[in-house]
Structure 1
Amino acid sequence: MKVIFIFIDGVGIGSKNSNTNPIYATQNLVLAKLIEDARFKADASLGIEGLPQSATGQTSIFTGVNASATINRHLSGQPTASLRDIIYRVNMFSELKNMGFNVTSANVYRDEYLAKMLDMKDKRNRPSVTSVMGMAAGIKFKTVADFVDNRGIYHDLTGEILKESGYIVNTISPEKAAQNLYQLSRDNDFTLFEHFITDIAGHIASMNDAVSVIEILDSFLAELISLMDFEEDVLIITSDHGNIEDVTVQTHTMNKVPVVVLGKKADGVNRQINSLVDIMPYVLELFSIQENGYNFK
């Protein structure tokens, strides 16, 4: 079994109004259909008042700990020391590695950013939740060289931002990015890819810009789905909070987030996903059933 886990920042389940929801204004409506057919709808509020935010939401997804309840608020941006402590104590990568599975992050890091991120003396640097998880689990991070060799995916899928940053690289199509992700997943039991352009576009709240972002994402997802064998492969897609699904506001939303699960290997998982904290236990149970024939407790 090969599992690809795609985390898309800032995508909630909104209205089907194509005038306000760019997910329903694209040509092929790939993400729209995935959201409509999502196996679960997860609460992102985590029992805490206020708009859900990225640092606490992502920590909750990738640790199974209610981060918002732990610090009694929603926290935006990157995790603080208290959230990093949670991630170092328990996280999806480390748990799967401890179970004997090969895990990787497909995301490419710019060389200068990676150097600063790994410099533990630089207290000004605050890496993302998935980056902290990778460091805690001892994951080897992908570099620009991996992008050039088609062994890693940049967060914008095409590498256009890398080129604009001064790197001498050829941009790729979203379909090629999907092919690269699929090939990378063949060497690992669990492959994570994070896409956060959606959240940025949601905050800008421009319909044209948001539709462009979703169009690229639609092409990427359609190609990836066409490559996967859902008799053996499992694709999981989820988010940390709503945002881009409503361009009438520049803030996050209170909408639930989709949890898309495709693949017959997941049919044996009895666990339900009602909130973000249920996602990691679901993933661990999926792997435990396939490996050992019993449910994860």
Structure 2
Amino acid sequence: MKVVFVFIDGVGRGNKNKETNPIYATKTLTLARLIDEAAFYADAALGVEGLPQSATGQTSIFTGINAPAVLNRHMSGQPTATLREIIYRTNIFGELIKMGLKVDSSNVYREEYLARMLDMTDRRSRPSVTSVMGMAANIKFKTVSSFIKDAGVYHDITGEILKGSGYDVETVTPEKAAQNLYKLSRQNDFTLFEHFMTDIAGHTANMNEAVRVIEKLDCFLEELIGLMDFEEDVLIITSDHGNIEDSTVPTHTMNKVPVIILGKKAEAVNMHISSLVDIMPFVLKLFSQNIVC
């Protein structure tokens, strides 16, 4: 069994008004269809007042621990020392490795960013939750050379940001990026891809920009779904909080987030997902039920 986990920052279950929800304003409507047919819709507030935020939401997803309750608040941006301690203690990469499984992150890092991120005294590029998780599990981070070799995916999918930053790279189509992710996933039991352009676009409250970002993501997801064999493969797509689904505000929303799960082997997992903290236990149960001794 191969599991691909696509984490998409800032996507909630909003209304279907294509005038205000860019997810329903695209020509492709792939993400819209997936959200409509999602297996579960998860609470991102987790019993704590205020708008859900990235650092605490992502920590909750990837550790199964209610991070906002630990801090008694929602926290944006990168994880604090307290959250990093939680991630180092337990995270989805580490728990799967303990089960004897091979895990990997497909995300590509720019060399200068990676150097600053790994230098914990340099606060200019503090690591995200998934980066801390990779560090805790001793995952080898992918650099631009991996992107050039079609062995990694940049967070914007196509690599346009890399090229615009001065790197000598050729951009790829969303379809090619999906093919690269699929190829990488054949080498692992669990492969993660993180995409956060949706959250950035949501904060602009610009419908045209949001639609552009969603259409690129739609093409990426459509190709990935077409490549996967759902008799054996499982695709999980989820988010940490709402944002892009409501272009009338530049902030996060209180909307629940979709937890999209495709694959017959996931159908046998008798477990309901009602909040972000249920996602990691679901993945662990999925693997425990499908490991062949």
TM category (shorter chain) comes to over 0.9
The within-5 A match list for 1:228-267 is 228-267=228-267
CA distance 1:169–1:250, change in 2 (3 Å): same
> Is 1:211 matched with 2:211?
yes
SS at match of 1:61: helix
Given that residues 57 and 240 in structure 1 are in contact (C-alpha distance below 8 angstroms), is that contact kept between their aligned partners in structure 2?
A: yes
Q: Deviations over 1:9-51 (max 9, x none)?
A: 0000000000000000001200000000000000000100000
Q: Deviations over 1:173-221 (max 9, x none)?
A: 0000000000000000000000000000000010000000000000000
CA distance in 1, matches of 2:101, 2:143: 23
Aligned to 1:25: 25
Q: CA RMSD in A?
A: 0.9
Q: Which runs of 5+ in 1 are unaligned?
A: none
Q: Deviations over 1:123-165 (max 9, x none)?
A: 5542100000000000000100000000000000000000000
Given that residues 230 and 263 in structure 1 are in contact (C-alpha distance below 8 angstroms), is that contact kept between their aligned partners in structure 2?
A: yes
SS at match of 1:4: strand
> Is 1:156 matched with 2:177?
no
Query: Alignment identity in percent?
Result: 73
Given that residues 93 and 134 in structure 1 are in contact (C-alpha distance below 8 angstroms), is that contact kept between their aligned partners in structure 2?
A: yes
CA distance in 2, matches of 1:13, 1:169: 36
So what's the TM-score if we normalise by structure 1?
Answer: 0.97
SS at match of 2:254: coil
Given that residues 80 and 126 in structure 1 are in contact (C-alpha distance below 8 angstroms), is that contact kept between their aligned partners in structure 2?
A: no
So what's the TM-score if we normalise by structure 2?
Answer: 0.99
Given that residues 117 and 127 in structure 1 are in contact (C-alpha distance below 8 angstroms), is that contact kept between their aligned partners in structure 2?
A: yes
SS at match of 1:163: helix
Question: Size of the alignment, in residue pairs?
Answer: 293
Given that residues 108 and 144 in structure 1 are in contact (C-alpha distance below 8 angstroms), is that contact kept between their aligned partners in structure 2?
A: yes
The within-5 A match list for 1:39-118 is 39-118=39-118
Aligned to 2:178: 178
CA distance 1:123–1:17, change in 2 (3 Å): closer
Amino acid at match of 1:191: T
Q: Which runs of 5+ in 2 are unaligned?
A: none
Given that residues 56 and 76 in structure 2 are in contact (C-alpha distance below 8 angstroms), is that contact kept between their aligned partners in structure 1?
A: yes
Aligned to 2:10: 10
Give the CA deviation at 1:122: 2.7
Aligned to 1:291: 291
CA distance in 1, matches of 2:150, 2:244: 29
